[in-house]
Amino acid sequence: AQTVTQSQPEMSVQEAETVTLSCTYDTSESDYYLFWYKQPPSRQMILVIRQEAYKQQNATENRFSVNFQKAAKSFSLKISDSQLGDAAMYFCAYRSPFTSGTYKYIFGTGTRLKVLA
Amino acid sequence: DVKVTQSSRYLVKRTGEKVFLECVQDMDHENMFWYRQDPGLGLRLIYFSYDVKMKEKGDIPEGYSVSREKKERFSLILESASTNQTSMYLCASSPSGRVTADTQYFGPGTRLTVL
C-alpha cells in the first residue's frame, strides 16, 4: 500500500531564511504525481507545487522548489526567503496513476511551519 | 477562480442525529472528495466521486455515506452521529485525473462537534 510520511510535525524558520520540509513516500508504481499543499490558519488549503514522477527536472514556483529523488522516494519542499505569510500547515500528497478505473490520493500528516519575525 | 463552498463552517450535533454536510463547486469538475482532518493524522479520505451518481469508498467510510445527484454538489451524510466523528471535514474537487495530474481545490472546511 502507498504511504506518505512527514517526519517533522513542526518547524521554525527566521524571516528571510530558507527552510526545507521533508516528505518520503512508498509506492511500487513508476508513474505518479506528488504535491505540496499549504493550509494557512483558518484558511482554505491551496496547492503550492506539484511534480510528475516521469519528469527528472525539479519543479519550482517562485520561492518554492522541490528536491525530487525518485530512487530514494523523497520529495522535499524548499522555501526560500521565508515570509510571515508562509506560516501554515504543509501537507505532502501522492496521487497514484489512474488504473482499473480509479486512483488513490494520499496525504501525509502535515508539518506546521512557524515563521519568526 | 475555482470556488468550493461548504454549507457550514461550524456545526454542533447530538449523538445519534443524522447530519448532512454539503459541498458545492462551480468549476464543472468531475471529481469530488470528502476528507476528515484530525491532528497528527493528516487528511484521510472518506469517500470520493468521479461522476454523477458514482461513488467510491476511501480509507475510512464506516459510519458515513455520500450522495452526488448533480455534478456540482457532493453531500456527506453521517447516518447516526457519534462522538468519534467530531472532526474537521474538508471537501475538495478536481478536474478529471484520467490523463493528467489533478490539483485538488478545497473548501473552507466544516468543524463538526458531536456531543
E strands, B3-84, are 4-6, 10-13, 19-25, 31-38, 42-49, 56-57, 64-70, 73-78
Cβ separation B41–A44 shorter than 8 A: no
Query: Is B4-94 CATH 2.60.40.10?
Result: yes
Percent of chain A at pLDDT above 70?
98
Residue B101 has pLDDT above 90, yes or no: no
Q: Are B52 and B71 in contact, with CB atoms under 8 Å apart?
A: yes
Quick one: which H or E segment has residue B93?
strand B87-94
Cβ separation A102–B98 shorter than 8 A: no
Q: Chain A 72-101, CB below 8 Å of chain B: which residues?
A: 91, 93, 95, 98
The more confident residue out of A101 and B50 is B50
Q: Which residues pair with B78 in a beta bridge?
A: B19, B64
Chain B residue at shortest CA distance from A93: B43
pLDDT at position B96 is 76
Query: Mean pLDDT over all residues of chain B?
Result: 91
The confidence band for B97, taking pLDDT boundaries of 50, 70 and 90, is: low
The more confident residue out of A100 and A117 is A117
A72 vs B115: CA distance, rounded Å: 45
> C-alpha cell of B51?
461522476
CATH number at residue A104: 2.60.40.10
Name the burial class of residue A98, with classes exposed (0-12), middle (13-18) and buried (19+) by CB atoms within 10 angstroms of its CB. Answer: middle
pLDDT at position A9 is 95
Taking the domains of chain B in order of start, what are their residue ranges? Answer: 4-94
Query: How long, in residues, is chain B?
Result: 115
pLDDT at position A42 is 83
Residue A97 has pLDDT above 90, yes or no: no
Residue A99 has pLDDT above 90, yes or no: no
User: The domain containing residue A37 runs over which residues?
Assistant: 3-116
> C-alpha cell of B114?
458531536
Percent of chain B at pLDDT above 90?
74
The confidence band for A1, taking pLDDT boundaries of 50, 70 and 90, is: confident
The residue-averaged pLDDT of A94-112 equals 84
Span B43-95, pLDDT tens digits: 999 999 988 988 989 989 999 999 999 999 999 999 999 999 999 999 999 88
B85 vs A18: CA distance, rounded Å: 38
Q: Which of B91, B81, B72 is nearest to B113 (CA)?
A: B81
Structural domain tally of chain A?
Answer: 1
Span A48-72, pLDDT tens digits: 999 999 888 999 999 999 999 999 9
Q: Chain A 6-45, CB below 8 Å of chain B: which residues?
A: 6, 9, 33, 35, 37, 43-45
The residue-averaged pLDDT of A38-50 equals 93
Q: Which of A45, A95, A110 sits opposite B97 (nearest CB)?
A: A95
> C-alpha cell of A109?
500528516
Cβ separation B41–A47 shorter than 8 A: no
Question: CA of B58, closest CA in chain A: separation in Å?
Answer: 8
DSSP string for residues in A3-57: EEE---SEEEEETTS-EEE--EEE-S-SS-EEEEEEE-TTS--EEEEEEETT--S
pLDDT at position B98 is 57
